A and B are shown apart, each in its own frame.
Chain A
Amino acid sequence: GAVVSQHPSWVICKSGTSVKIECRSLDFQATTMFWYRQFPKQSLMLMATSNEGSKATYEQGVEKDKFLINHASLTLSTLTVTSAHPEDSSFYICSASPGASGANVLTFGAGSRLTVL
């Protein structure tokens, strides 16, 4: 079946540094990828939708200059948390779809836990 790999699975960084999280579709081409964040005991909140070769679409309230998304190929999307602060500590999960958003079954990565000191 479809597999989505996320790396790193956990990262600790100092306040003010930038962190990059990768999301790869291993056995299919992902036209669309989604990035979510999840605070403890809360649900997943969609941050942005990225389409290969075009700019990401950010949800209301998500700072696009802070959360940089790049979807340069059909198998890789990256989320960079720039100038990270402790309030950015969260669980970030990506998902990928081979077709139009919402039209296919999404495959989720295992998540990346970010802790900003």
Chain B
Amino acid sequence: KQEVTQIPAALSVPEGENLVLNCSFTDSAIYNLQWFRQDPGKGLTSLLLIQSSQREQTSGRLNASLDKSSGRSTLYIAASQPGDSATYLCAVSSWGKLQFGAGTQVVVTP
């Protein structure tokens, strides 16, 4: 059974600092890995999708890496802004299912 873990559970940084969010998974037989953003009481917004054959994806200030062999993905957010405050979820697609981590709650203080 695929298990997805996100560390840390919560993170608070001053504006301008870079954010590093970690995601680990137990079964390396994945189809893809996605990072999502969730604002309080809202649905999910997809940020980045990394296919199993890829090592990283970039979009603006966001960069996500994937190391399938070690079962890890890292989301980097450069030059954080207060608007980046949200919960970030990673999800792994394997065996036809999407398994979510519990998320990292990020607060960026002005």
Residues from chain B with Cβ under 8 Å of A49 in the complex = 96-97
- Overall SS of chain B's interface: strand
CB of A43 within 8 A of CB of B102, answer: yes
| Shortest Cβ distance from B46 into A: residue | A105
Closest B residue, CB atoms, query A109 = B43
**A101 at the binding interface (Cβ < 8 Å):** yes
A-B contact count (CB 8 A): 56
Chain A, interface size category, equals 20 to 34
Complex alpha-carbon distance, A107 and B41, angstroms: 17
Give the distance to chain B from A95, nearest Cβ to Cβ, in Å. Answer: 8
23 inter-chain pairs at a CB distance below 8 angstroms, sorted by A residue, are A34-B98, A41-B105, A43-B89, A46-B97, A46-B98, A91-B41, A93-B43, A95-B44, A100-B96, A101-B96, A102-B31, A102-B32, A102-B94, A102-B98, A103-B31, A105-B34, A106-B34, A106-B46, A106-B98, A108-B36, A108-B46, A109-B43, A111-B43
